[in-house]
A and B are shown apart, each in its own frame.
Chain A
């Protein structure tokens, strides 16, 4: 059984990001980039499937700039068997990614396509679903537990107000939620071995797809700055402010 794991290169969660002065986007110069945390969970799940004997091959794939190779190497160090980069310099959007991945899936014929539920930069939460729609595959999104048994996938989904259990046939699209697992650290011996693992690079043209963005970003705004807190001298003053300024108590 083959597992395909699409991974996205995103800004490190610990970096304080800045909006470019012209509001065209976020300033990414010299900013630390990493594997999107939800994609890391997907890689971890795929590697665990392989360790458990459910999966035979784990393929990591990224769609984006050449530097994505760095994140793919991390995935290889974490246990993916090989990697594919669909290289493009366009500002890739979910539909473009899903289209490119569909073309790759036609070659790879993976049984499970494990996406992160969303990326922490765009926060779109669309790519897995778009891919499922384009390929006509069943999907189990926001997974907090996944079991593959007798040719079926059993997925526990984190839905509003509870958990939903579904089963689907294979091949299947699964998107990972936060609680699915806790990813391991990349071990140094595995980082060394990862340098020798296979990485194929295609262009969208080679796969016969068009990934031109369909949405135009008009403007990116930073969130409003929160006003600083104040210190009050007494309980009376606090109550007064809660009543008359914040108006949170009657």
Chain B
């Protein structure tokens, strides 16, 4: 079977050396075995299609691979699959100003798209700490969120058209970049968030928006988690927020030590929030701060006096994930409705402390979207396997708490391998049945990212 692959891909576009297999065979996770049989680099939609046809004929299994920054093992190849990397399908194909649409191949790096938009005088608002490496195809396949969801929504909101190659080798041109299209099921949305299990995303029409006015950043300190949500609603009643992020004192300690950053406030607080908003709203934002200070919801706060300071304050939030990496964290990416959040945080905290008093918990997240990242840090004396085992043991009880609140066990990182066994806590049996049925229509032979999600 490997000869047929060699017929499709010239030697520079197929790799089988150990280094390449180790590199392209995994994503940001480090806990799954990595064992692909080959890595291929298609350059055209037709090549992807030919590959799918070949895979169906010869029983190859394919793992779509983007920037490999995924946090749930979605792009990991553990069982001799062929990794299909979009690194060489990285061209921006066209830009239509009147439609405000950029047409991109799936392998365009998120930051490249952001910079392209800016050069045209527009803005692509999906952004997070891994934008410099993640690809548009990976963002779409995981419906990535990030730091400005509160204002701009998820990747889904910005995808106006999608070209996919299904697991049966069909090329679908979904929604063609149209604003209005009332012709039945919108298959585009089926592929957004499908984690490479239904087909390959090969091209997308991405909507752009206006460049926002200059932004200002506040970091506020809180004694109590409940205060954060009161502050969120109060600010939202007065100004439009571009971001409302949250981190705990331990997260701040990790990131300031790792990146050698200055602490934002004179005194430490158990919790912090980072707010971003238009510079023109600064007077209203300051008034909102005065009110929340008067109410005793916040203890202190700082306001960026320059773009350079705004960037430094953002590092306090954006650098957290990276600063935790040396502690091999077990990552939970949970969401509940904002109203549920204070009580949810309390019960989760209680559960974790009761079960694992020896584990350090780092809380942070996109709190304005009801999304909490709970990272459990590995104590030095435990092996990774042992540590992950113990984290997984607690998951059923943790996810029951999520389920009781009709929340999600994976807000934006996807299910992949990491959360697969727990999907039932967020999806009903009836839903799972329909999801499997859809999979069997679009990928009847199960060649697409087998073992992921479902």
With A12-B308, A32-B214, A182-B262 known as contacts, the answer to whether A191 contacts B293 (CB < 8 A) is no
Binary B-proximity of A43-72 (CB < 8 A = 1, otherwise 0): 000000000000000000000000000000
A134 on the B face (CB < 8 A): no
A188–B302 CB distance below 8 A: yes
Interface bracket on B? 20 to 34
A184 to B306, CA, bound (A): 13
A74–B308 CB distance below 8 A: no
A160: min CB distance to chain B, Å:
26
A186–B300 CB distance below 8 A: no
With A32-B214, A182-B262 known as contacts, the answer to whether A187 contacts B306 (CB < 8 A) is no
A217: min CB distance to chain B, Å:
25
B308–A34 CB distance below 8 A: yes
B301–A188 CB distance below 8 A: yes
B303–A188 CB distance below 8 A: yes
A192 to B305, CA, bound (A): 14
A32, A185, A191: which has the most chain B beta carbons within 10 Å? A185
B313–A185 CB distance below 8 A: yes
B219, B265, B304, B305: which has the most chain A beta carbons within 10 Å? B305
B218–A188 CB distance below 8 A: yes
Q: Which of B292-311 contact A (CB under 8 A)?
A: 293, 300-311
B305–A189 CB distance below 8 A: no
Binary B-proximity of A96-125 (CB < 8 A = 1, otherwise 0): 000000000000000000000000000000
B309–A185 CB distance below 8 A: yes
B290 on the A face (CB < 8 A): yes
> Which of the residues A15, A182, A186 comes within 8 Å of B305, measured between beta carbons?
A186
B305–A34 CB distance below 8 A: yes
Binary A-proximity of B254-278 (CB < 8 A = 1, otherwise 0): 0000000010111000000000000
B121: min CB distance to chain A, Å:
14
A192–B290 CB distance below 8 A: yes
Q: Which residue of A lies closest to B306 (CB)?
A: A34
A66: min CB distance to chain B, Å:
18
Give every chain B residue within 8 A of A150 (Cβ-Cβ).
Answer: none
Give every chain A residue within 8 A of B290 (Cβ-Cβ).
Answer: 192
Q: Which residue of B lies closest to A190 (CB)?
A: B302
What is the predominant secondary structure among interface residues of chain B facing chain A? mixed
Q: Which residue of A lies closest to B313 (CB)?
A: A185
Binary B-proximity of A146-183 (CB < 8 A = 1, otherwise 0): 00000000000000000000000000000000000010
Give every chain B residue within 8 A of A186 (Cβ-Cβ).
Answer: 302-303, 305
Give every chain B residue within 8 A of A182 (Cβ-Cβ).
Answer: 262
Q: Which residue of A lies closest to B260 (CB)?
A: A182
B293–A74 CB distance below 8 A: no
A14–B302 CB distance below 8 A: no
A165 to B446, CA, bound (A): 74
> Which of the residues B279, B303, B311 comes within 8 Å of A14, measured between beta carbons?
B311
> Which of the residues B300, B309, B310, B311 comes within 8 Å of A187, measured between beta carbons?
B300
A182 to B323, CA, bound (A): 21
B395 on the A face (CB < 8 A): no
Q: Which residue of A lies closest to B264 (CB)?
A: A185
A35 on the B face (CB < 8 A): yes
Q: Which of B196-225 contact A (CB under 8 A)?
A: 214, 218-220
A185 to B304, CA, bound (A): 7
B220: min CB distance to chain A, Å:
8
B286 on the A face (CB < 8 A): yes
A184 to B219, CA, bound (A): 13
A37 on the B face (CB < 8 A): yes
A189 to B309, CA, bound (A): 18
Q: Which residue of A lies closest to B220 (CB)?
A: A188
A37 to B311, CA, bound (A): 14
A13 to B309, CA, bound (A): 10
B293: min CB distance to chain A, Å:
7
Give every chain B residue within 8 A of A192 (Cβ-Cβ).
Answer: 286, 290
With A184-B266, A187-B301, A188-B301 known as contacts, the answer to whether A14 contacts B306 (CB < 8 A) is yes
A184–B262 CB distance below 8 A: yes
> Which of the residues A15, A32, A187 comes within 8 Å of B302, measured between beta carbons?
A187
B306–A185 CB distance below 8 A: no
B289 on the A face (CB < 8 A): yes
Q: Which of B387-412 contact A (CB under 8 A)?
A: none
Give every chain B residue within 8 A of A188 (Cβ-Cβ).
Answer: 218, 220, 286, 289, 293, 300-303
A189: min CB distance to chain B, Å:
7
Q: Which residue of A lies closest to B217 (CB)?
A: A185
A185 to B265, CA, bound (A): 7
Give every chain A residue within 8 A of B219 (Cβ-Cβ).
Answer: 185
Q: Which residue of A lies closest to B310 (CB)?
A: A14
Identify the A interface with B (CB < 8 A).
12-15, 32, 34-35, 37, 74, 182, 184-189, 191-192
Beyond A185-B305, A188-B289, A189-B293, 17 additional pairs, beta carbon < 8 A: A12-B307, A14-B306, A14-B308, A14-B311, A15-B307, A32-B307, A35-B305, A185-B262, A185-B302, A185-B304, A186-B303, A187-B301, A187-B302, A188-B218, A188-B220, A188-B303, A189-B301
- Can you list 28 A-B pairs, Cβ within 8 angstroms, ordered by A? A12-B307, A13-B306, A13-B307, A13-B308, A14-B310, A34-B305, A35-B305, A35-B306, A74-B305, A182-B262, A185-B219, A185-B304, A185-B305, A186-B302, A186-B305, A187-B266, A188-B218, A188-B220, A188-B286, A188-B293, A188-B300, A188-B301, A188-B302, A189-B293, A189-B300, A191-B303, A192-B286, A192-B290
Closest A-B pairs by Cβ, 5 of them? A34-B306, A14-B307, A185-B302, A188-B301, A12-B307
